[in-house]
Amino acid sequence: MIKLDFEHRQAGHCESGVTSNMLHYHHYEISEPMVFGIGAGLFFSYLPFLKMQHAPTTSFRVWPGMVFERATKELGVKSMVHRFKNPKDSMSKLNEVLDKGFPVGLQVGTFHLPFFPPEYRMHYNMHNLVVYGYDDKTYYISDTLMDRLVEISYDDLVRVRYAKGTFAPSGRMYYPTFVPKEIDLKPAIIRGIRKTANNMVGIPFPLVGAKGIRFLSKSMRKWEKKLGPEKASYYLGQVLRMEEEVGTAGAGFRFIYGAFLDESADVLKQDWLKEVAMEMGENANKWREFSYMGSRNCKKRAKPDQSYDFLADMLLDCADREEKIFRRLTKIK
């Protein structure tokens, strides 16, 4: 049996929180927004051809695993990442690493997570949590979504680590092994911001970044005519769920990114970043307003308060704001 002295701290975004908490265990203090920003976690993509729960997928962040890998690399932290074909191997490796005294981050599917809030138990394979100890057949878990520490049985843990479907975790586990004494945040921050800015305004593809938001806005105008009020409302709900649900998602990520820019302005001693951070905060509030208006539409499906055109205009406004913000950020030095 082993139970490490791991401090559980809740977070807005599971992977950044997990990374920040694991580094905290290794005596390096870094906030969750800092990890999120350096790991270039912010993104936008609209994938109408990829259906999730019978509606198009909207994503407000990068692929799972990128944040941890990028952030640790930028910070000079050495880390290990494993995947296993065989569940037995992956579990014995997990025990072995815990025995050595390292808490381990895991990518899991949420459908079979017994301690998860029942309303979130859908097939979502991009969730992250930390295992900090084990006993005979029980594993001790710190999940940044949860307001308490939790436990899981061996069998259930195997099940969620080998969940199937899109982005199947296939037993992915990761943990930092060495944290340098002195870390210079400045170059890491600058590269992180450049990467995000490029993702948001530099990719010549219509479904991603600020362009992706415009594309979504354009298709949203056609939903009611094309799909009928019921389905249009469900599609809209799906966008909002991706924006608001598990791990604070969309609007939440904009807030986290704003907090990151705010913190970075102090570290880099560049005041103009403060301004941009404020713009980001306002932009995030606009997103939240959008989801608030949208959810009222979902409640009164037959006679919505706001037309889809109105909501689409709100999205266009967000797209313009983000375009402006990230164009400015591309010039960071």
Partner 1 sequence: MEDKQKESMEENNGEEGLLYNYNRELFYGFDKDRKFVRKSHFQIDANQIIIKQSWDAAEERLEAVKEKVLSGKLSTIAFFMEKNLMEVPMLADYMEIWKWKVRRHLTPKGFAALKPEMLQKYADVFGISTEELKNPDYSKHQYQNTTA
Between CA 94 and CA 61 the distance in angstroms is 28
For partner 1, give the closer residue by CB, 188 or 251: 251
Please answer whether residues 139 and 154 qualify as being in contact, where contact means their C-beta atoms are separated by less than 8 angstroms. Answer: yes
- Least separation in angstroms between residue 202's CB and partner 1 is 26
- Least separation in angstroms between residue 225's CB and partner 1 is 21
Please answer whether residues 101 and 175 qualify as being in contact, where contact means their C-beta atoms are separated by less than 8 angstroms. Answer: no
How far does Cα 3 stand from its chain's mean position? 27
For partner 1, give the closer residue by CB, 77 or 256: 256
Strand pairing category for 138-142 and 104-108: unpaired
For partner 1, give the closer residue by CB, 64 or 202: 64
Between CA 114 and CA 120 the distance in angstroms is 11
Helices (H), the chain: 14-25, 32-38, 66-75, 87-99, 154-161, 185-201, 209-244, 249-268, 271-299, 308-329
- Least separation in angstroms between residue 203's CB and partner 1 is 26
Beta-bridge partner residues of 208: 45
For partner 1, give the closer residue by CB, 102 or 116: 116
- Least separation in angstroms between residue 99's CB and partner 1 is 31
Residues in the chain: 333
- Least separation in angstroms between residue 178's CB and partner 1 is 29
- Least separation in angstroms between residue 166's CB and partner 1 is 9
The alpha carbon torsion through 28, 34, 35, 36 (nearest 10 deg) reads 170
Between CA 333 and CA 21 the distance in angstroms is 29
For residue 111, the number of C-alpha atoms closer than 13 Å in the C-beta half-sphere is 13
For partner 1, give the closer residue by CB, 69 or 245: 245
Residues that bind partner 1 (CB under 8 A): 10-12, 33, 53-54, 111, 117-119, 121-123, 144-147, 164-165, 168, 233-234, 237-238, 240-241, 244-245, 248, 252, 255-256, 258-259, 262, 277-278, 281-282, 284-285, 288-289, 291-292, 294-296, 298-299
- Least separation in angstroms between residue 271's CB and partner 1 is 15
For partner 1, give the closer residue by CB, 286 or 328: 286
For partner 1, give the closer residue by CB, 111 or 154: 111
